[in-house]
Amino acid sequence: MANERTFSIIKPDATKLGVVGKIIARFESEGLRICAVKKIHMSKRVAEGFYAVHAGRPFFDELTDFMSSGPCVVMVLEGDNAISENRRIMGATNPDDADEGTLRKLYGAHIGNNAVHGSDAPETAAVEIAYFFAGTELH
C-alpha cells in the first residue's frame, strides 16, 4: 500500500444539506487523515480555473455556476492509497449509479449535484491541491 495525498471538495449542495461533519467523519473513519481543510466560496472565475480541463464541454457553465453558488469545503486527505480509497468512499459520479452507502448515493441528488469531488490520479491530485493550498498549509 502506498501512502499518498488526494484532494477533495464537499460541494455546495452538501454544505447546504448540513452534512459536512458527516462526510468528514466518514473520511476519517475509513482511515483517511485530513492534512488541510478550509471552507471557501469560490468565485465563478476560480471555479472556471479549477475546472478548466472541462472548458468547452456542454456542462462547463452549469458546473462552474453550481460550484460558485455557495460555500464548499476543500480538503487534502492522506492515507494508504488515498486516491482510490476516496473514490471508493465517494461512489460513482452519478448518484443513481453509486453503490449503497457511498457519499454520492447518500447525499447526491443527481450527476450535476453529487455532493463531493475527488482527484482521479496522483498528477491531478498534485495540481488540485496546489490550486487551493500553499505548501505551508499542509500538515
Q: Please confirm, yes or no, whether 117 is among the known catalytic residues.
A: yes
Which residues, 6+ apart, have CB-to-CB distance to 55 below 8 Å?
Answer: 48
Question: Could you report the per-residue pLDDT of 1-18, keeping only the tens digit for each?
Answer: 679 999 999 999 999 999
pTM above 0.75, yes or no: yes
Q: How far is CA 100 from the centre of its chain?
A: 19
C-alpha–C-alpha distance, residues 48 and 54, integer Å = 9
Element (H, E) at 62: helix 60-67
Question: Could you report the per-residue pLDDT of 13-57, keeping only the tens digit for each?
Answer: 999 999 999 999 999 999 999 999 999 999 999 999 999 999 999
C-alpha R_g of the chain: 14
- Of 41, 54, 117, 139, which residue is the catalytic one? 117
- Give backbone dihedrals phi and psi of 48, rounded to 5 degrees, phi first: -65, -40
